[in-house]
């Protein structure tokens, strides 16, 4: 049956066109961000905090032996490098851990610069893991992986 003009004066047929692919991408990005927040609320401890604490302890001990016999200093240096390699290859699982990892990288880079070095000249995985990647490469690789986890994909 037809509708007469006077029966529905305020009725206007409206079609809204939505680009399906753009909506899908935004929905996926929102879901990924929500998943990251839910993971953070789950209460699972972020392994990056343990890795940072273990590296700090090993590094402090190593620097305390600067005048010790060569064997003791070498063993402490190996332990410090193992802890550094573990830290540099541990991906943060929380936003707080992501920030702590970034701050650690800044702190270490400043300390290396004060010793006239930089992260690109430090190879903590060389002896135990057989990798030739320097600390800078390991840091940015882990940082990029964590950023992909926490930052929504933008198109």
Tell me which residue range forms the domain holding 82. 45-150
Give pLDDT, residue 3.
Answer: 52
Q: Do the domain assignments include residue 50?
A: yes
Q: Do the domain assignments include residue 36?
A: no
In total, the chain counts a number of residues equal to 155
Q: Do the domain assignments include residue 26?
A: no
The C-alpha atoms of residue 150 and residue 140 are separated, in whole angstroms, by 15
Q: Do the domain assignments include residue 73?
A: yes
Q: Do the domain assignments include residue 130?
A: yes
Q: Do the domain assignments include residue 65?
A: yes
Give pLDDT, residue 46.
Answer: 93
Q: Phi/psi class of residue 13: alpha, beta or left (left: φ > 0; alpha: ψ in -120 to 50)?
A: beta
Q: Do the domain assignments include residue 15?
A: no
Give pLDDT, residue 15.
Answer: 47
Give pLDDT, residue 97.
Answer: 93
Query: Total domain count for the chain?
Result: 1
Per-run averaged pLDDT (10 residues), the chain, 155 residues: 53 52 63 62 83 92 86 87 91 92 89 72 63 83 90 66
Single out the residue of 72, 78, 96 nearest to residue 146, CA to CA: 96
Q: Do the domain assignments include residue 69?
A: yes
């Amino acid at each position: 049956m037809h509708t007469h003009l006077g029966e529905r004066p305020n009725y206007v047929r409206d079609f809204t066109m939505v680009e399906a692919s753009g909506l899908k991408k935004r929905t996926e990005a929102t879901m990924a961000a929500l998943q990251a927040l839910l993971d953070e609320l789950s209460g699972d401890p972020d392994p990056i905090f343990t890795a940072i604490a273990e590296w700090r302890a090993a590094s402090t001990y190593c620097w305390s032996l600067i005048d010790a016999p060569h064997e003791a200093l070498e063993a402490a240096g190996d332990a410090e490098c193992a802890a550094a390699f573990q830290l540099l290859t541990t991906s943060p699982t929380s936003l707080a851990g992501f920030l702590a990892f970034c701050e650690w990288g800044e702190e270490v880079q400043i300390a290396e610069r004060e010793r006239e070095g930089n992260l690109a000249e430090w190879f903590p995985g060389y002896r135990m893991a057989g990798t030739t990647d320097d600390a800078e490469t390991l840091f940015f690789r882990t940082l990029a992986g964590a950023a992909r986890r926490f930052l929504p994909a933008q198109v």
